């Protein structure tokens, strides 16, 4: 994926959309594994075909400064990932591999997340999409899991808190799997409101609606544990009935998004029924919330998505919407072929536990 960002003078910066990407991240790869370099290749090819990156500001992704990484991760765990890579690779758990280039790739992914967040907070871009891997939202401070090595979005949030003095950050996670790592990092922190939609019960087994935070963070974790088979209507209802009023109450200064496109009805690793058009509606809602509450400051970070063509068209659509919310949706797959599960009772419980009724 080439660096096609224009010079600053070619943009009205207040309206600029940016991206970050480093081809080093493709060297984290294991043949036959669903989280492989082929995901980024599929994205890159479609974005280049449509010429979208030529219009965007490119933000360099470089390995993260260690002090920034250690705001989230234990030093001994970071050393473990480094040593495992230097020894030729291996597994952190049955799902999570390390290859010789994985440590540098993971440092670069976290660095890209921070660099793009910095660009948005410093006014060099209005919003952006971090095309980064390995993904991050399952990574705990002292443990990698679920394909994730370092928790990119948590590192970016801690950076925003420490170096930009952002007091209220909203993290929205619409990956089909619950972001247990992100939740754990901020479970006692009222400075980050974590909102997650996910299939439940499903890997990693966390994310019940009764998990709402602890101590000073009580009420600042919001879980929507969908049953198997929820689609566009259920996700729309969750955003309108829960996310919108929660955001209005919290008044975030920055919105970060863990964007997993594996809740699509044709994804091979899950059982939900979102369409790309359904993803587009969620992205539009997030853009509108960012415009309403934080001057448009919105940073989206890639997590899952394992149907390569669905992933590529979802990312293309997201980029288009970041530029303009009326942009066309690229959805060659269409709506889910099966009826979806109702969510009325679940959303009622979530609204009650968070005082929205």
pLDDT in tens, 38-66: 999 999 999 999 999 999 999 999 999 99
At 357, the pLDDT band (50, 70, 90 cuts) reads confident
Structure tokens, 165: 């003095």
- Enzyme catalytic residues: 138
Express each pLDDT in 146-195 by its tens digit: 999 999 999 999 999 999 999 999 999 999 999 999 999 999 999 999 99
- pLDDT, position 15: 56
Average pLDDT rounded to a whole number, residues 123-142 = 98
Q: What is the distance between the alpha carbons of residues 144 and 97, in angstroms, rounded to a whole number?
A: 9
Is the Cβ–Cβ distance between 224 and 194 less than 8 Å?
Answer: no
pLDDT digits (tens, 9 = 90+) for 266-280: 999 999 999 999 999
Token pair 């030529």 is found at 54
Assess contact for 186 and 157: CB atoms under 8 A. yes
Distance CA 139, CA 124 (A): 29
Kindly tell me if the per-residue pLDDT of 9 is higher than 50.
Answer: no
Nearest Cα to Cα of residue 65 among 78, 52, 55: 78
Domain 16-353: CATH architecture, name and number where available: 3-Layer(aba) Sandwich (3.40)
Average of pLDDT values for 9-27? 75
Q: What is the pLDDT of residues 264-323, one digit of tens each?
A: 999 999 999 999 999 999 999 999 999 999 999 999 999 999 999 999 999 999 999 999
Domain locations along the chain: 16-353
Tokens representing 245? 């009023």
pLDDT at residue 7 is higher than 90: no
Q: Residue 44 to residues 106, 116, 157, 192, 217: CA-CA distances in angstroms?
A: 19, 18, 26, 32, 39
Partnered with residue 45 across adjacent β-strands are: none
Please state, in angstroms and rounded to a whole number, the distance separating the CA atoms of residues 282 and 49: 25
């Amino acid at each position: 994926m080439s660096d096609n960002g224009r010079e600053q003078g070619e943009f009205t910066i207040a309206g600029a959309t940016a991206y970050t990407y480093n081809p080093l991240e493709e060297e984290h790869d294991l043949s036959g594994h669903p989280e492989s370099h082929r995901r980024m290749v599929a994205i890159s090819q479609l974005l280049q075909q449509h010429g979208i990156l030529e219009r965007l500001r490119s933000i360099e992704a470089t390995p993260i400064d260690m002090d920034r990484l250690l705001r989230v991760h234990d030093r001994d765990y970071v050393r473990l990932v480094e040593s495992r890579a230097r020894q030729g690779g291996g597994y952190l758990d049955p799902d999570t591999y390390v290859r010789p280039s994985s440590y540098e790739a993971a440092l670069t992914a976290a660095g890209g997340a921070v660099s793009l967040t910095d660009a948005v907070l410093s006014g060099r871009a209005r919003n952006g999409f971090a095309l980064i891997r390995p993904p991050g939202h399952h990574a705990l401070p002292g443990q990698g899991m679920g394909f994730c090595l370092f928790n990119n979005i948590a590192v970016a949030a801690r950076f925003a808190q420490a170096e930009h003095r952002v007091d209220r950050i909203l993290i929205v996670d619409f990956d089909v799997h619950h972001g247990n790592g992100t939740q754990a990092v901020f479970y006692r922190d009222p400075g980050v409101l974590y909102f997650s939609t996910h299939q439940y019960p499903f890997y990693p087994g966390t994310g019940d609606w009764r998990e709402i935070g602890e101590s000073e963070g009580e009420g600042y974790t919001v879980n929507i544990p969908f049953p198997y088979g929820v689609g566009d209507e259920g996700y729309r209802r969750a955003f309108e009935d829960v996310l919108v009023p929660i955001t209005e109450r919290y008044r975030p200064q920055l919105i970060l998004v863990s964007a997993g496109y594996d809740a699509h009805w044709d994804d091979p690793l899950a059982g939900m029924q979102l369409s790309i058009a359904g993803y587009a509606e969620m992205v539009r809602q997030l853009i509108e919330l960012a415009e309403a509450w934080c001057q448009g400051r919105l940073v989206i970070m890639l997590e899952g998505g394992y149907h390569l063509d669905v992933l590529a068209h979802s990312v293309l659509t997201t980029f288009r919407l970041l530029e303009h919310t009326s942009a066309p949706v690229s959805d060659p797959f269409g709506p889910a072929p099966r009826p979806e599960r109702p969510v009325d009772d679940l959303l009622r419980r979530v609204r009650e536990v968070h005082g929205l009724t």
